Amino acid sequence: MTENFEPTIIGFTCNWCSYRAADLAGTARMKYAPNVRLIRMMCSGRLDPTFVLRALSGGADGVMITGCHPGECHYIEQNYKALRRYLLLKRVLKGMGIEPERVKLVWASAAEGAKFASETTLFVEEIRKLGPLNWGKPTERLDDLQEEISKTEEVPA
């Protein structure tokens, strides 16, 4: 069954690097797996972990978070904050009994269209192996989680 399974993946991209990497992959006509649907944010720092939970609870089988390389964030260092949240989020997912590998963080600069394409295809294959997520009763669990996440404090920079 997992053989023919086509995962649905939500990708969060930052306006300055990874979204432009996706643009570049397009301009260069690089081919990659069609399973990812992108959302543009200004910075990976904008990523609220509840977005990821909303995506997973709403039918996505995986979530890809992309941003500028460490040290290259347009807003100086906000991708480090994204990194911290990502690590925290993985712990929470694990606690919820969801494979943490369903969420992946990828750094891609505006010049790395090829990396964006290959990482996307790779991630789709990884999720295909994990199989469908089938997160039941989405809304209730989401509320619980939202509360849990809001209790965890941000570590200051």
Partner 1 sequence: MSEIKQERVGVYVCHCGSNIAGVVDVVDVANWAAEKLKHQGVVIAREYKFMCSSLGQELIEKDIKELGLTRVVVAACSPHLHEKTFRTAAKNAGLNPYLVELASIREQVSWVHTDKAVATEKSKAVVSGAVSRVIENVPLEELKVPINPNTLVVGGGIAGIQAALEIANAGFHVYLVEREPSIGGHMAQFDKTFPTLDCSACILTPRMVEAGTHPNITLLTWSEVEKVTGFVGNFNVTIRKKARCVKEELCTGCGICEEKCPKKVIDDVFEAGLGYRKAVYTPFAQAVPKYPVIDKANCTYFLKGTCKACEKFCPTGAIDFNQQDELVNVEVGNIILATGYDLFDARRVSNYGYGRLPNVFTSLEFERLSNAAGPTNGNIVLRDGKTTPKSVGIIHCVGSRDKNFNNYCSVICCMQGLKFAHLVHERTGATVYNFYIDMRTAYKAYDEFYQRVLEEGTLFVRGKVAEVTDAGRNEREKGKLIIQVEDTLAGKQRRIPVDMVILSSGLQPRADAKEVGKLFGISCSTDGWFTEKHPKLDPVATMTEGIYIAGCAQGPKDIPSSVAQGAAASARVLDKILQKEVALEPVRASVDQEMCSGCRICNGLCPFNAISFLEDRMVTEINPALCQGCGTCVAACPAGAISGTGFSNEQILAQIDGLLLRNIEPVEA
Crossing angle of helices 138-151 and 49-57, in 10° steps, is 160
Asked if 45 interacts with ligand FES (CB under 6 A), we say yes
**Residue 98 contact, options ligand FES, partner 1, none, Cβ 5-8 Å cut-off depending on partner type:** none
Cβ-proximal residues to 31 (8 Å cutoff; 6+ apart), any chain: 117
137 near partner 1 (CB under 8 A) = no
* Residue 70: contacted member of ligand FES, partner 1, none (CB under 5 to 8 Å, by partner type): none
- Selection from partner 1, ligand FES, none that 67 binds (CB < 5 to 8 A by kind) is ligand FES
The one-character DSSP state at 73 is B
Site for ligand FES in 63-92 (CB under 6 A): 67-68, 73-75, 78-79
CB neighbourhood size of 142 (10 A): 17
Q: Are 52 and 89 in contact (CB under 8 A)?
A: yes
Question: Is 141 an interacting residue with respect to partner 1 (CB under 8 A)?
Answer: no
The binder of partner 1 chosen from 2, 70, 76, 94 (CB under 8 A): 76
Closest to ligand FES by CB, 62 or 67: 67
Question: Strands 103-107, 9-14: parallel, antiparallel or unpaired by DSSP?
Answer: unpaired
Least gap, CB of 48 to ligand FES (angstroms): 14
Output phi, psi for 37, to 5 deg: -115, 125
Joined together, the tokens standing for residue 52 give 């990821």
